[in-house]
Amino acid sequence: MENQNTTKVQSSYIELDNFIVESKARVGIPQIIEQLKKISELKLEDFIKLSETKFENTVRGMFSVIKNLESHLEEVLQMNSTLRAEAQVSKSEIEKLKVEKEELEQRISSLEKDTPLIADLEKRLALTIEETEKLRGLYKLEKEKFEKKEKDLGMLDILLDKTREERDDAYKEIVILEDKTG
């Protein structure tokens, strides 16, 4: 950033009734304050008492001060219009950002409404795990019952086979006894 007290100086010369005055496009703030002090210190009585050369030099000085102040005023006015234009651009950008912010806030709000809370999901997960454990326990019990029934069926098959053998043996004995008695 440039220092505000000292600025770039562009010189041009103005000739007015045999006076040559240097005009500066930008003047440092301390110079302007000094020039304003000089102008405020000048009094009408001082002009009357001055000799012609001193009067001429004083007028030249005043003319130079006024020209410097005019050029500085022009620059300030140009800077002011530039700053106003920049302010308008900034204002429109701020409005765009506000609209964008509102849209994002609405989007976030809708996402928060649509998405279940993590705590609810954790509770559902805990319930699901609990139900899964219960179902595993029931499955294990049913499996044990099924295995026991299969074992019992296997025992019954064995008993049935023994019973059939005994029945067949009994028929054979009956047939043999009938053949002997008969």
Q: Residue 108: inside a domain, yes or no? A: no
Task: Label residues 21-45 b or e (16+ Cβ within 10 Å = b).
Answer: bebbebbbeebeeebeeeeeeeeee
Q: Which helix (H) or strand (E) holds 23?
A: strand 19-24
Same domain, 123 and 175: yes
Q: Per the structure block, which two tokens stand in for 149? A: 């029934």
In a domain, 63, yes or no: yes
Q: What is the pLDDT of residues 107-133, one digit of tens each?
A: 988 878 777 677 788 888 999 999 999
Give the count of domains, the chain: 2
Do 129 and 79 lie in one domain? The reply is no
Q: Are residues 25 and 82 in the same domain?
A: yes
Whether residue 161 is found in the same domain as residue 123: yes
Task: Tell whether 6 is covered by a domain.
Answer: no
Read off the pTM: 0.34
Residues 6+ apart with CB under 8 A from 14: 20, 21, 22, 23, 67
List all residues 6 or more positions away from 30 whose beta carbon is below 8 Å from its beta carbon. Answer: 5
pLDDT digits (tens, 9 = 90+) for 134-175: 999 999 999 999 999 999 999 999 999 999 999 999 888 888
DSSP 11: E
